[in-house]
Amino acid sequence: MRKVWRGLSVFVVLALSWLAVVPAQAPSNPSAGTTKALQQSGGVASPERVGLSSERLGRIGNAMEQSISEGRIAGAVALVARHGQIVYFKAFGMGDREAKQPMRTDNIFRICSMSKPITSVAVMMLYEEGRFLLNEPVSDFIPEFKNMKVLDPPVPRDTTSPPGALVDAKRPITIFQLLTHTAGLTYPWNARLGKAYNAAGLGTGLLQQEGSTGDSIKRLASLPLLFQPGDAWEYSLADDVLGYLVEKVSGMPLDRFYEERIFKPLGMKDSYFFLPDDKVSRLAAAYAYYPEKGLQVIPEKAVIKEGDFSYSSDYPYRGPRTYFSGGGGLCSTAEDYYRFCQMMLNKGEFKGTRLLSRKSVELMTQDHVQGKVEGMGYGLGFGVNSESRYLTELGSVGGFYWGGFYYTDFVIDPKEDMIAVVMAQLHPTGDINVNARVIRLAYQAIND
- Residue 84's CB is within 10 A of a number of other CB atoms, namely 17
Would you kindly state where each structural domain of the chain is located, as residue ranges?
4-110+267-443, 120-256
CA distance from start to end of the chain: 32
> Which of 118, 253, 244, 255 lies closest to 185 in space, CA to CA?
244
Q: What CATH code is assigned to 120-256? A: 3.40.710.10
Is there a contact between 205 and 160 (Cβ–Cβ < 8 Å)?
no
The region, left, alpha or beta by phi > 0 then psi within -120 to 50, assigned to residue 84 is left
Q: Measured on CA atoms in the order 218, 224, 227, 229, is the torsion positive or negative?
A: positive
- Regions of the chain short of the pLDDT cut 50: 1-37, 39-40, 42
How far is Cα 371 from Cα 233, in angstroms, rounded to an integer? 9
With left for phi above 0 and alpha for psi between -120 and 50, is residue 381 left, alpha or beta?
left
Q: Which long-range contacts (CB under 8 A, 24 or more apart) does 34-37 make?
A: 34/89, 34/105, 34/106, 34/335, 37/267, 37/269, 37/335
Write out pLDDT tens, residues 382-433: 999 999 988 899 999 999 999 999 999 999 999 999 999 999 999 999 999 9
HSE toward the beta carbon, residue 11, CA cutoff 13 A: 23
pTM above threshold 0.85? yes
Which candidate, 73, 63, 60, places its Cα nearest to that of 103? 73
Residue 34's pLDDT is: 46
Q: Nearest to residue 233, comparing CAs of 167, 186, 174, 169?
A: 186
Helix (H, G, I), strand (E, B) or coil at 393: coil
| Among the listed residues 30, 418, 105, the one whose alpha carbon sits nearest the alpha carbon of residue 284 | 105
Amino acid (one-letter) located at 37: A
User: What is the reported pLDDT for 28?
Assistant: 42
Q: Do domains 4-110+267-443 and 120-256 have the same CATH topology?
A: yes
Beta-strand relationship, 165-168 and 353-354: unpaired
Helix and strand numbers (H, E) in the chain are 13, 18
The pLDDT value recorded for residue 43 is: 58
Percent of the chain as helix, strand, coil, to the nearest 5: 35, 20, 50
Architecture per CATH, domain 4-110+267-443, reads as: 3-Layer(aba) Sandwich (3.40)
Question: 3-class DSSP state for residue 365?
Answer: coil
Q: Is the peptide bond before 162 cis (omega within 30 degrees of 0)?
A: no
Q: Cα–Cα distances in Å, from 310 out to 96, 189, 423, 443?
A: 23, 9, 22, 36
